[in-house]
Structures are given as structure tokens and as C-alpha cells.
Structure 1
Amino acid sequence: MKKVIRTIGMTLALLMLIGQFTSCNNAKKAENATKKEEKTATNIIKKEEKVVHRSPIVFITGYDKKDDNFYTGARTFFKDKNFQIIEDAYSLEEIIEWLNTNATSNPYGEVHIVNKTNPWLGMNLETVVNGKKITSESLQESINEGNIPTLKNVITNDTKIIFHANQLAKNTALINNLKSTFITDKTPQIIASPYYNIFGGEFTNHYLAEPFYVFYPTANSPGKVDLSKEIARKYPNEKEVEWFAALTNEKERYVGEPYTLQYNVPIKLELDYHNSDNDIPSFTMEEEVMDWIANDEDLANKVRELNIPVEKFRWTWKVKNSKLTLKGMSTVLCVLKPITKPYGDLEHVKPDTTNKRLYAMK
């Protein structure tokens, strides 16, 4: 009898173990099935979330003056690419408003902004309609005052805002302020070059050029010979440019030939002595003005911000009531060396915005 009971007990125990094993096995199968379903559902969602961006658009933010063809060349270049071109937007406010107003279910992919920027004076683009030209300071001021419209959710993290503006990538403060105006719940890529953008060239519609600078007080040029010696001393490692020839050359006559652009950089310093115990200084010559600026830390810093020596300005001064106004004007000679391929046939390097040697991506 005891043997029978023992046998029955062992059988029951075995049956329980089999049941537990089967239950665990079924649970594991159910768990795997659930994971498989979740993975399938995730893949479906990912496929559904695949974003289709709009075709590239281009803002031509200025117009040509006199014999210049920068904007005309840019218009032709992007028209040949079949990019959508937007004209008559001459401020950041108008650009953002256009992006908001013309939004579709597809977010913007590439937004090109063409602007002929002066590296010393900032962008030739207004902050708001009829507002100040964009510099890092004027844009920050407009942002603080809430004058720049907010961009709607019309972009993704893959959207590229590409600025075709001279040496903009070197102005980190301005790049950061521009980026802040385009951020939504997504953060687009801001792309700009440390080089000059040339549109409408004789041999290529769009290429980049490396700049070299020399300055003199406006209307007081020491002559091209002395200037060529000065710029050679300033850039001793640049052996490929014949400086005198470049300074006397106004355009690229063959592919890669250096040439010179000329423009003026003004500065204005105002001091009010109405509530001051100091007397208004009296000057008889420019040298006295330059010495006085050099000995005033605030004024010296303002001049230094332009990265142009104080002696490279032609200074004038005026006193009206209790206000002293100093005005300086410097002429910039910018030698441009087109960026060409270092091997093979002589031709310009293609301005590829994905090339980190040519463009900075912020």
C-alpha cells in the first residue's frame, strides 16, 4: 500500500513539474510574440514618421548697384538648379514671415539666404522692415525687444539654413544670434563659409575666395608699391600671390587669378560733456586725435573691435554745444584669391556646403 501511495505521489509531482515547464514555455513564447509585435509596430511607426522635405528655396535679399552683379549672378546660379527663388525680402522679419505664411505639410529642407555682407559693417540685411542692418549687436537688441517674429514648427533637425555671405562663419556671435531666431522645438543646421562668396564670375557662376586685407586712411593712400610691401609683411606665409599685381587687378582675368575689391569702413565716436567736470579736448591735427583715442580705454576698445589700427583711419572732429563727435574713415583693399583645385585642370573648387573645409556647420 505504501508503495502505491509513493508511486502516486511521484506521478503527481512529475505532472506538476511538467505543468510548470509547459506554463513557463508558453509564457516565454507569449513574451517573444509580444516583443515581435512591438518591434513590428515600431518599424511601422518609423516608416510612417519618415519626413519628406520641401525642395530647396532661395532668398535673394538685395539688389545690385552700378556694375556689380552679385545678386544677378546668384539668381542665375540658383535658377539653373531649379530652386524656388524668393525676392523682395530684405529683412530677417520678412524671411521668417514668408516661411510661416507659405508653410505646407512638408517641412523646409534647404533654405538659402544670399546676402552681400561686409565683414566689418555686418550683413546688408535688415533686422526688421526699415530697421537696422544686421550685426550681432543689432540682432541681439531686436531679439531682446521681441521684434523678430517666431518661426512656426515648419522645420526639422535636418533642415539646413545656408547663408551665402562673406566670411559670416568667422562672426561666431552673429551666427549664434541668427541660429536662435530659427530654432523651434527643432534645431536646424546653420551653415556659412569663412571665405568670400562670389556669384556671377567670369568663369564660374559661384565660387569661394580667400581674403587678404590692407588698409589706409581714406584719401591718403601711400601708393600700391608701399601697400604691396605692407601686405606681403602681413601675410609672410602666402607665397602664391604677387601682391603688387593683385592690388592693381580689379577682376579675375583667368581662373584663379587674385584680384582686389575696395570699400570704406566708417566709425563714429560721440562724447557728451554736459555733466562732465572735464573740458572738451581741443585738437589741431589728426595725430592728436589718435593719441587721445589710444589713451582712452573705452574709445580704443571700440576702434579695436573693427580690427583696423587707429592710424589707418582719416579722422575729423566736430564740437557742437557739449558734444564732441569724432569720425574716422578707413579704406580697405581686399585681395581675393579664388579657391582652385590643387591638381588636374585649373578650375574653381565647387562650393559644396557639406565640405567642412569650406563651410562651418553650427
Structure 2
Amino acid sequence: MKKLNLKVAVIVGLLMTGTFVNCTKTKEKTTNTVAETIEISTTNLEEKTAVESRSPIVFITGYDKGDNKFYSSARTFFKEKQYQIVEDAYSLEEVINWMNKNVTENPYGEVHIVSHSNPWKGMSLETVINGERITAETLQRDSENQLIPQLKDGITENTKIVFHSCGLGKNTKLMQKLKKSFSAKEAPQVVASPYYNVFGGEFSNHYLAKPYYVFYPTANSPGKTDLSKEIARKYPNEREIEWFAALTNERERYIGEPYTFQFNVPITWEFDYHNSDNEIPTFETEEALMDWIANDEDLAKELNNLDIPVEKFRWRWNVKNSKLTVKGKSTVLCVLKPLTKPYGDLQHIKPDTNNKRLYAMK
């Protein structure tokens, strides 16, 4: 048989009804005194049961590689806000274990989780220590296998789990599963933006940007001119961006200027033909392999879920014993357009987690 593996946040009441008939003035005065006493006692009880939430906590769940300063810039941003910083927690398992070990009589308020993310590879945050990146599928699987610890306490309906993970707000399925993972006796609010989070910008320490994508087979770029024409056709309603300039620009040189960064999306498929009635297919060219992929219902579905055309990958394959391994890699050029105020002085829109236009909430 073919075997497919794809890696790719006591009210006490007293009701007194009826009319006192034939009561003396003394009795009326006594009744009022009792009611006032109960009212005062109730107020004091309410004050005692109101518990203040803890100060904000931030989990920096990764470390920077190369010139990317995402995590270090986020750390600086939150330190300036005097938030408690937690480092060396690179998995959901470690985050939840830390929260269980550090629970107090005061419930968690805002819990910020900083993690790289993109629509194709999921979050950089692992499910468990040395596990896979978090996606809706990996989180579901590891939760069902009881590998993810349970939060024991410290969560209320007012707890807000804020994910600073690019584009996560669009993934409602994953956000729902994350909310379940962070629920204890009560369920928290889980908040994430559909936009990209940018920390350490030249003009703002933290802002949001709208992404636009164009793809090409890794190491086989058609050139910026052809790519600019392609992305213009893909987003015909976006008329404020000069695409060629954006694709050749690597940073925001003035407030709101679009710019581009790139990353790769890899695919690995393994097919074991041991004890299979089918023969291992052979391919003379990359085009023949792409035709085989396009004609396979399961593989075509996988690519359709990624929303990257088969021809936008560079494909390689090899056969060892009874196993066929197919690898594809696509380079993504992501154009970011910083969100700016539509009126007044030119400035970035403040990333307000209470703003439903900027953040999705579950």
C-alpha cells in the first residue's frame, strides 16, 4: 500500500416582600436596621471575593536565526512595558507546565505568547518538547494521545491568551484548539491577529502589516519583473502598492512603505511499496513527476490545502529499496504593507488587542 507522510487565553441577596400590617413604629425601625446590616455585610463579602488578576506575562518561545530579530525585538518591547518575561519554553508542553508550577491565588490576566508562524508551516512553537510545530492537526493528535498537559488552575473567563504569531487570527480551527488547551475550570479568551506582527521596526516597536504572496520553485526564480506582474494579477484590487518596487525593497524606509521578505515551504512524501501490488513509479523528468502528483487524488488534495500550485515547487525524488521519497520546495515572497492610520499624521495603527478589526478572538 501507498503510505503518505506530510510534514509540511457570592452574591448574597435578600428579598423582602409584602406589607407589614398593624406594626408599631418600633418594629418598623428594627426591620430597617436588619436590612441595612445585611446590605452592608453583602457589600463587604463582594469586596472580599473580588480577586485581582496577575500582571502580564510574556513567553518568548524561540530564538533568532541569521538577521531576523523577531524574538529579541519582542523581548525588548515587552521589557520596556515591564512585563514578566519567560524564556526557554519552546513548546506548548513547557508553557503549560510553567503556568501550572507558578499558579498563585491571583488568576492569570494577560498571557502573551510570541512565536513565528505562517499559513503553510504552522507555528514555530512545538506541541511537546522536541515535537512537531503546532498546527491544528498536530495539536489535535498530541492532545488525543494525552501528550499535552492540562492546566489545573489560574484561568478565568477574564484571562486573555494573546498570540503574537503572524496570520494566526485567520486559522479559526487552530485558535479553537488552542483555547481548549488553555482551559482549566473556566475557558480563557484567545486572541490573535490575521495580520503579521512586526517587532523592532524603525518607526514603531510593534506594528501590524497585511501580507501578499507570490511563489516560485526554489532556486528557479523567473525574476522580479515577471513576479511583480504575477502578484499584480493575483491582487487586482490592491492599487496602492507598486509591486516591482515592493519586491526589491527589504525594509520599511518610510512609514507605511511596503517591503518583502522570503521563506521556503518544504514538502516531504514517503511511499513504501513493500508488500504492495503496485510497482514503484519511475520518472524521467520533473514534469513527469508533477503529472503523477496532479493525477493522484490524495496528493492533489494535499497541495490544494497548501494553496500553492504544483509547478511552484522544485521537485526531487529518489528510490531506496522499496521506498520512494518525493521532496518539493517552494520559495514564498511575502510583501508586507504596514497598517497606517487613514487620517492625520502618517503613523502606524496601534496593535490594540481589544480591536476586533485587528484581532480575532475565540
Structure-2-length-normalised TM-score? 0.89
Q: Give the match's secondary structure for 2:125.
A: coil
**Shift in CA distance, 334/35, structure 1 to aligned 2, threshold 3 Å:** same
- Alignment of 1:313 onto 2:313: yes
Going from structure 1 to structure 2, the CA distance change for 1:321 and 1:154 (only over 3 Å counts) comes to: same
Alignment of 1:266-345 (within 5 A): 266-345=266-345
Partners of 2:103 and 2:153 within 8 A in 1? no
> 2:57–2:111: 8 Å Cα contact kept in structure 1?
yes
- Residue 43 of structure 1, CA deviation: 3.5
Deviation track 1:172-208 (CA, whole Å, cap 9, x = no partner) reads 2211121111101111000000000001111111000
Q: Which moved more, 1:272-281 or 1:322-331?
A: 272-281
Counterparts of 1:249-264 in structure 2 under 5 Å?
249-264=249-264
The equivalent of 2:54 in structure 1 is 54
Q: What amino acid is aligned across from residue 262 of structure 1 in structure 2? A: Q
Cross-structure match for 1:132: 132
Query: Deviation at 1:37?
Result: 6.2
Aligned to 1:265: 265
Check the 8 A contact 2:155/2:185 in 1, yes or no. Answer: no
Indicate yes or no: 2:151 matched with 1:156. Answer: no
Deviation, 1:28, is 10
For 2:190, the aligned partner's letter is: I
CA deviation profile, 1:93-129 (whole Å, cap 9, x unmatched): 1111111111221111100001111321111111111
Q: Deviations over 1:40-77 (max 9, x none)?
A: 55433322221201110111111111111111111111
Distance in 1, Cα, partners of 2:191 & 2:266: 29
Residue type of the partner of 2:336?
A: L
Distance in 2 separating the partners of 1:245 and 1:75: 31
Find runs of 4+ consecutive structure 1 residues off by over 6 angstroms.
Answer: 25-37
Count residues in correspondence.
343
Change (3 A) 1:21 1:49: closer
Unmatched segments (≥5 aa) in structure 1: 1-19
Compute the displacement of 1:342 (Å).
0.7
More displaced 10-residue stretch of structure 1: 167-176 or 185-194: 167-176
Aligned mates of 2:121, 2:43 — CA distance in 1: 51
The Cα of 1:135 is off from its aligned counterpart by 1.5
The residue type paired with residue 315 of structure 1 is W
Q: What TM-score do the two structures reach when normalised by structure 1?
A: 0.89
Q: Which moved more, 1:172-181 or 1:105-114?
A: 172-181
Q: Which residue of 2 aligns with 1:170?
A: 170
Compute the RMSD of aligned alpha carbons.
2.1
Q: Give, in whole Å, the separation in 2 of the partners of 1:132 and 1:273.
A: 26
Offset from partner CA, 1:273-321 (integer Å, 9 cap, x none): 2232222211111111111111111111111121111111111111122
CA distance in 2, matches of 1:280, 1:26: 101
Identical pairs, percent: 65
Rounded Cα–Cα distance in structure 1 between residues aligned with 2:187 and 2:35: 33
Instruction: Write out aligned runs for 1:2-21 (5 A).
Output: 21=21
Please report how far the alpha carbon of residue 227 of structure 1 lies from its aligned counterpart in structure 2 after TM superposition.
Answer: 0.5
